[in-house]
Structure 1
Amino acid sequence: MRRQRGASKFEFAVTVAIFGVLATALLLRLNVIQEDAERTEVDLTVRNIRVGIQLAIGERIMRGEEYRIAEVAAASPVDFLGHRPRGFREGRTPSGPGQWSYDAANRELVYFPRLPQAFADATELRWRYVARNDSSGRPVGASLVGIN
């Protein structure tokens, strides 16, 4: 009787099947991680814009320059970040996935997701930049409000 050297075809097929299942599980998990990362990036960008707006308004109040709050309400909300978000385009609709823009005419911040499934299949996310006025119509604040 001859001794067999190496693996049989069956053993090879089982090994390939195991690696296939592991690779599929890894790719699915990586996709979930990418979706989480994009949601976190968008959430942090919007949160940082909101904090920047609050800091700018608070700074004017602390200096006794409440009349300058109107400047904050009139500016682009992206101006209150330390830097522009990755893929930011001023005044134009984003041309592709992963890009931000601010439309000053409509006062809307727009983001086109790289992975729409991370945002319930939304192809674009929008926030409106609104001024808050007191009863006499003077601006006393500004906020970024989610539209969708």
Structure 2
Amino acid sequence: MATPLRQRGFTLFELAVVAGMFAILTAVFLNRVGYYQRQAQQVAVAQMLGVLRTSLRVQVLHLYLADRRDQLPALARQNPFDWLTDKPASYLGEFAQPDLAKLPAGNWLYEKKEQKIIYLFSNGNIFPSTGVDAVKFKVTLPGADADLDKLVQEPDIVVWKSPGSAAN
């Protein structure tokens, strides 16, 4: 009497369990990747703002030391990216009235009409969203009668929000 040979391999149930575990691990991985992409983007934005703030303060101190404080208001109307020796690769340029929905995410631009710096946030490539997340920044300067201590601390590039804006 021949003994039946036992088949070796996975059963359908075992294969389903492995596929389910793989799907769960993939979902967790994609969630974490998206989180770390957002964190890296926020750090890059903060770093670029730090560079622009430093450039602004250098420009203000140059005007102060040259006794040309009357030119401070004109400084607020300039494109802050023009103060940099090397513009970042993510800088798209100057726009009169940009259509933010048509511009690529993850980039900087300067809006000439409102004199604001805009950063277009990227939501990642895995699950693209339909809306555009943008944050706008405005140059703020002290008055022409400010002393040196105030000039060192007050020139800044701040987040600008319009009423009802969804900007971060």
Settle same-fold status: TM greater than 0.5: yes
Q: What SS is found at the alignment partner of 1:90? A: strand
Q: What SS is found at the alignment partner of 2:141? A: strand
Pick from 31, 35, 44 the counterpart of residue 32 of structure 1.
35
1:106 and 2:114 are equivalent in the alignment:
yes
Once residues 74 and 125 of structure 1 are traced to their aligned partners in structure 2, the CA distance between those partners, rounded to angstroms, is 18
State the shift of 1:26 in Å: 0.6
Superposition TM-score, scaled by structure 1 size: 0.76
Pick from 90, 94, 107 the counterpart of residue 94 of structure 2.
90
Contact 1:90–1:102 (CA under 8 A) maintained in structure 2: yes
Pick from 137, 143, 160 the counterpart of residue 133 of structure 1.
143
Relative CO higher for 1 or 2, CA cutoff 8 Å, sep ≥ 6?
2
Once residues 114 and 132 of structure 2 are traced to their aligned partners in structure 1, the CA distance between those partners, rounded to angstroms, is 20
Paired position in structure 2 for 1:76: 79
Runs of 4+ that moved beyond 4 A: none
Query: Which letter does structure 2 place at the counterpart of 1:77?
Result: P
Percent identity (aligned): 20
Q: What SS is found at the alignment partner of 1:18? A: helix
Contact 1:49–1:77 (CA under 8 A) maintained in structure 2: yes
Once residues 98 and 11 of structure 1 are traced to their aligned partners in structure 2, the CA distance between those partners, rounded to angstroms, is 43
Instruction: Give the alignment's Cα RMSD to 1 decimal.
Output: 2.7
Query: Which letter does structure 1 place at the counterpart of 2:34?
Result: N
Contact 1:107–1:130 (CA under 8 A) maintained in structure 2: no
State the shift of 1:132 in Å: 2.0
Structure 1: segments with no counterpart, 5+ residues: none
